[in-house]
């Protein structure tokens, strides 16, 4: 489930989650994106630069130096300070915010005017280039964590070297698809399953979906995606009804 904001059962903001199970047996969280920080909470969803600051907050002085060399607006440094001091800052595993952070890193440094704008901008830039590289985006199998730090560090290094934004945007999409493949392949082997169900607003990204389908094509893993209901929040009520029906069916039995 790759989305922007979801309320996790641990009280944090989810949005980059791997679950194993079924409606009848229930779903168990078996992996997630490495937690980042959201300076300002919901405000970071409207200002991708704040999301980027939260994802880079662990970098400390290195993050500030990168921001200066890349000419980021002052808002980035304010948000970085908020994250470092934990002032109105909240943990998140949101894949949607990672897309926002990548967009900010590649030049989308202003506020968004409609939901998903930064990610749409990133996808558009990526479509202008063919795949040339894949950034490191490692899956820690023991902890069930996808670590975005090597990915963002490699992107920053490319920007400082003057790499074309379109090349980097395309590589970012490819890297997410590759990371998803590697993580799911290992989880399927560990849990004895062969079906991947994709959900969440991030999968409205047609380029990402194309990369994911291509990567899984000969894997022996079936990829399922909603066709008659929206993949994002519009399908939530149906999922809730399905879970309720499964619970009622168990009680009746």
Check residue 252 and give its pLDDT: 75
Between CA 37 and CA 53 the distance in angstroms is: 8
Check residue 253 and give its pLDDT: 67
pLDDT digit string (tens) for 143-153? Answer: 999 999 999 99
Cβ count near 22 (within 10 Å)? 12
pLDDT digit string (tens) for 41-69? Answer: 888 999 999 999 999 999 989 999 999 99
Check residue 23 and give its pLDDT: 87
pLDDT digit string (tens) for 218-236? Answer: 999 999 999 899 999 999 9
Contact, 155 vs 167, CB < 8 A?
no
Contact, 170 vs 116, CB < 8 A?
no
Average pLDDT, the chain: 95
Between CA 96 and CA 15 the distance in angstroms is: 7
Classify residue 176 by burial, with Cβ atoms within 10 Å: 0-12, 13-18, 19+.
buried
Structure tokens at 110: 């202003």
- pTM, full prediction: 0.96
Cβ count near 57 (within 10 Å)? 21
């Amino acid at each position: 489930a790759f989305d922007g904001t979801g309320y996790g059962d641990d009280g944090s903001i989810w949005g980059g989650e791997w679950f194993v199970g079924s409606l009848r047996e229930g779903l168990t969280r078996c992996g997630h994106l490495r937690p980042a920080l959201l300076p300002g909470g919901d405000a970071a969803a409207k200002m991708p630069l704040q999301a980027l600051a939260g994802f880079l907050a662990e970098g400390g002085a290195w993050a500030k130096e990168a921001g200066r060399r890349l000419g980021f607006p002052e808002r980035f440094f304010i948000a970085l300070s908020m994250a470092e001091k934990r002032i109105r800052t909240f943990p998140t595993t949101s894949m949607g915010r990672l897309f926002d952070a990548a967009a900010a890193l590649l030049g989308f440094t202003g506020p968004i005017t409609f939901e998903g704008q930064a990610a749409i901008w990133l996808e558009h830039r990526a479509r202008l280039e063919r795949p040339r590289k894949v950034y490191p985006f490692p899956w820690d199998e023991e902890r069930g964590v996808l670590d975005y730090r090597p990915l963002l560090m490699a992107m920053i290094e490319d920007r400082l070297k003057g790499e074309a934004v379109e090349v980097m945007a395309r590589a970012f999409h490819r890297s997410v698809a590759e990371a998803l493949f590697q993580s799911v392949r290992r989880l399927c082997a560990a849990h004895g399953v062969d079906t991947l169900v994709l959900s969440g607003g991030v999968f409205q990204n047609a380029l990402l979906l194309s990369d994911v389908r291509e990567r899984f094509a000969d894997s022996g893993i079936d990829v399922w995606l909603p066709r008659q209901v929206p993949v994002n929040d519009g399908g939530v009520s149906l999922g809730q009804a399905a879970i309720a029906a499964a619970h009622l069916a168990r009680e009746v039995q």
